[in-house]
Structures are given as C-alpha cells and as structure tokens.
Amino acid sequence: MSSSLASLFYALLAAAMVCGQEPVTPDRAQPAARFFQPDPAEEPLACEVHPLAPAFSYRLAYRAGYSVTVPMGQFAGRQSTLGVLVRVTPKRAGAQPLLLKDTGDLPAGSGQQERDASKFEAQLQGDFYLGEGHYQAELVLTDSQQRVCRRRWDLEVKPHKGVAAALPPGRLAALSQLEWPHLGTRPGSLTIFLHAGAPRGNPVLLASLAAILERMPFSRLQVVVFSLDQRKELLRQNVADADGFQRVAEALNDFNPATVSYRVLQDPAGHRDFLWQLLARETLRAEPPDAVLFVGYSTFDDSRVFVPPACADGSRKTLYAYFDFAQPATRRSPPPGFGRRRPRGPSGATLPQARPLQPDMPDAISRIARACSGKVFHIHSPDHLASALRKTAQQLPPR
C-alpha cells in the first residue's frame, strides 16, 4: 500500500478512534472502495478473520459480524495502529452495500520477546444487522507499517418462520443505525417497568426494549428502571426520541447490583410494598396507561406475596404482562481488546445468546402480574420474545 493510500486510509478511519465501529459516511464511500482492490506490492500482515454467522437477536433482527485476531509478535515492541474497513454487499439488484470502519491502538512494548509474544494477540470485533438474502462480506486490515490482511466470505439469511424481521430483504444497518425506533401512532400509552439486573444482561434488555416499541407502537411511552433487590427506582423517563432511550441505557449501565443498603436488608418483605407503590403511581394517574409491561430477569420466589384486588380503573382496564428473561449465557469468544492471551481451545465465532439457567418458577413480579390478570411469558430466546409480543399485541383493543 503506497504512502498516499495509507494516509487516505487512516483519514477515513479517524472518527473510529473515538467512536469504535461506525458506518462510513456516503461522501467517503467511493474513496473507501479503493482499498478493497488488492495491490500486488502490498506487504502481508498476519491475521485470522473469524466470520460470525447470522443469528436472530433480541432486536428481532438478524445480526452477523466478524472477529479478527492478530499475533503480537510481528510488531516487535513498536507502537502501531490497526485499522479495519468492512464492506457487506447484498447480492440483490439495486441494494446498497454497508461500509464499516474501526481502529485500535497497540501500545509501545506490545509483542516484545521477553513477554513471550507468541501467547498474546490483538483483537478487533464488529457486528451489523442484515435482512433476508445473500451477501458478500470483505474485510481489509492494515497497520502503521502499511501491511495488509484481507478476507472475503459469503453470508446467507433465510426467512425466519413466523416472525417479521426488523429489516426487509437485502437491507443492512450498522448497530448504531438500528438501535432505537421512533414512537408509533397508536393512541394511548405504554409503561414499561425495566428490572435492572447484572450488567451482562443489559444489552439483551435494551435490544428487547426497542423490539417491544416496534411491535407495540404506542404514541406515548414511559420507561421506569428499577431494582427490586435495592427497592429503588433508578429512572422514570418519558421516552420520545433517541435521547430518552440513551438515558434509559445510562441508568442500566450505571446500576451497581452489588450495593444494597443495610436498611433494605433489615426488611426482607419490603419488596412487596415497593412493587405495589410502583404500580400505584400508574393506576392513580389521570390517564392510566393502556398497557403495563414488566421486563427483566427472574428475581426470587415469594409465595407469601400479598395479592390485592384486580388492577383496574373502573371500567377501563389496563393490560398487564411480564416478560421474564432467563439469565444470559457468558460470551463464548473474548470481548474486543489488545494484549489478550491466545485461548488454548478453538475460537468461538458465535454471537452470545440467552439460555435458561434456572427453572421457570413464580417470582414476586410474576405473582404481581397475575394478580392484575396479566400474562407471564418466560423468555429463553429471541423467538420466545417475538411470540410473547405477538400474543400481547393481540390482547390490545383494535385501534
């Protein structure tokens, strides 16, 4: 790769230094296309590219990606920058390709022989959404010495039985382009009680929140983030745009489940009153919500929870439901990073999915939901979420 081309390459990637993986803007798409043509004079950079096969996600869209590992020994202790360009092209007439960029810095001293460099590697990982169809993916990785590693692979996404995916056939989107849907036009309002749990479950809850709004497109949405263990309301937010969703995401990410006050521990039955206080604020509103959803991971069994009269406001009844998620599994592949020891076993090129780690059994929230004549859905996979949303939407009155 010539010095002029290398300068252009890093100019294209400059924004990714701060933002991580991002789509290439349309004005830079044509210059970026030049780097997908191999140059006979380019020097090779050793790397392994592991395609991540398309998997149906909790966003109710197919998600695919890649994982790139680079042996550290080839940098001989010099500071270097790794830059990645990815192009995914639909094999469909008239469909537009998706270009993604990413970079990462290797600090000086990485790969020195005294640190046994053969056991360490740099890693970059990226993901994207795609609709039904056939695609070709191309990846170009370069370093500060203008060495290049290339990989090309094919992708196929078949129709998902019984579920309308978020993206139509032949369409692609970066993660940042498909995170938050717009509010719908359905009259009335929806309140979602989002039960904060372990941080590793936050991506599933946030993706599911976006899918819920897409399938239940009310014109007004309120999200209440709470912790039953801490008996604390973390956020009560009227969500009207992406900024509102961002505040929900921040409330989840800032939550520390390991911190519980001594006052809470002294009152082991206080969670019952806390739950009903949350609901009371909804039923006492001048215009109670048309639907209330509890969304989160199972808490604990409490057969002695108080069962009050049905949650109704005169003749106008609110629809209640509880989406009870199984605890998420740990990632099979390590998260992106640098200087990681090379794993001994085979690399797990799969996206994380949830799996049941506990039996389906009533917990405090499920008993509350059933006391309000609500339905409880146990969510072990994106298909279960899609089914729960379909059944819940069918119970809503016609528009």
Its pTM surpasses 0.95? no
Alpha helices, DSSP H only, in 20-128?
26-33
Instruction: Retrieve residue 41's tokens.
Output: 């004079």
Distance in angstroms (rounded) separating the CA atoms of residues 33 and 154: 18
Each as own residue / partner, the long-range contacts of residues 341-350 (CB below 8 Å, 24 or more positions apart, any chain) are: 341/119, 341/120, 341/121, 342/69, 342/118, 342/119, 342/120, 342/121, 347/48, 347/50, 347/67, 347/69, 349/50, 349/51, 349/52, 349/53, 349/67, 350/52, 350/53, 350/55
Q: Which residue has the tokens 């993660």?
A: 175
Distance in angstroms (rounded) separating the CA atoms of residues 97 and 84: 16
**38 Cβ neighbours under 8 A, 6+ residues apart:** 150
Integer distance in angstroms from the first to the last C-alpha of the chain? Answer: 60
Torsion of CA 87, 92, 96, 97, to 10 degrees: 0
Instruction: Retrieve residue 84's tokens.
Output: 């990645």
With bands split at pLDDT 50, 70 and 90, how would you rate the model's confidence at 108?
low
**Residue from 229, 175, 222 nearest 198 by CA:** 229
Query: What is the rounded average pLDDT of the residues 89-106?
Result: 86
Q: Are strands 120-130 and 172-174 parallel, antiparallel or unpaired?
A: antiparallel
**Residue from 339, 345, 336, 333 nearest 72 by CA:** 339
220 within 8 A of 183, measured Cβ to Cβ: yes
User: Is the pLDDT reported for residue 80 higher than 70?
Assistant: yes
pLDDT for residue 19 = 37
**Any idea which of 79-93, 225-239, 274-288 has the lowest mean pLDDT?**
274-288
Domains of the chain: 3-176 (2.60.40.10), 186-394 (3.40.50)
What are the two backbone dihedrals, phi and then psi, of residue 161, each rounded to the nearest 5 degrees? -60, 125
56 within 8 A of 382, measured Cβ to Cβ: yes
With bands split at pLDDT 50, 70 and 90, how would you rate the model's confidence at 159?
confident
> Which residue would you say has higher pLDDT here, 110 or 18?
110
> Which residue would you say has higher pLDDT here, 116 or 52?
52
Distance in angstroms (rounded) separating the CA atoms of residues 298 and 296: 7
What's the pLDDT tens digit per position in 346-391? 233 333 333 444 445 677 888 888 888 889 999 999 999 999 999 9
With bands split at pLDDT 50, 70 and 90, how would you rate the model's confidence at 135?
very high
> Which residue would you say has higher pLDDT here, 151 or 71?
151
Distance in angstroms (rounded) separating the CA atoms of residues 117 and 135: 36
What's the pLDDT tens digit per position in 40-77? 888 999 999 999 999 999 999 999 999 998 888 888 76
Distance in angstroms (rounded) separating the CA atoms of residues 154 and 150: 14
Query: What is the rounded average pLDDT of the residues 201-230?
Result: 88
Distance in angstroms (rounded) separating the CA atoms of residues 333 and 100: 21
User: Is the pLDDT reported for residue 285 higher than 90?
Assistant: no
> Which residue would you say has higher pLDDT here, 339 or 122?
122
Instruction: Retrieve residue 336's tokens.
Output: 């992106």
| CA diameter of the chain | 78
- Max mean pLDDT among 283-287, 360-364, 394-398 falls in 394-398
Query: What is the rounded average pLDDT of the residues 133-140?
Result: 95
With bands split at pLDDT 50, 70 and 90, how would you rate the model's confidence at 225?
very high
> Which residue would you say has higher pLDDT here, 129 or 337?
129
**Residue from 202, 241, 244 nearest 223 by CA:** 244
Distance in angstroms (rounded) separating the CA atoms of residues 147 and 161: 44
245 within 8 A of 239, measured Cβ to Cβ: yes
What's the pLDDT tens digit per position in 287-338? 778 899 999 987 766 656 555 554 554 445 789 999 999 865 544 333 334 3
What's the pLDDT tens digit per position in 249-277? 899 888 887 766 656 556 666 667 777 77
With bands split at pLDDT 50, 70 and 90, how would you rate the model's confidence at 345?
very low
Q: Are strands 48-56 and 62-71 parallel, antiparallel or unpaired?
A: antiparallel
pLDDT for residue 53 = 94
102 within 8 A of 139, measured Cβ to Cβ: no
**Residue from 209, 213, 222 nearest 278 by CA:** 222
193 within 8 A of 163, measured Cβ to Cβ: no
Q: Which residue has the tokens 């349309």?
A: 26
Each as own residue / partner, the long-range contacts of residues 152-156 (CB below 8 Å, 24 or more positions apart, any chain) are: 153/49, 153/51, 155/51, 155/53, 155/54, 155/64, 155/88, 155/130, 156/54
With bands split at pLDDT 50, 70 and 90, how would you rate the model's confidence at 21?
confident
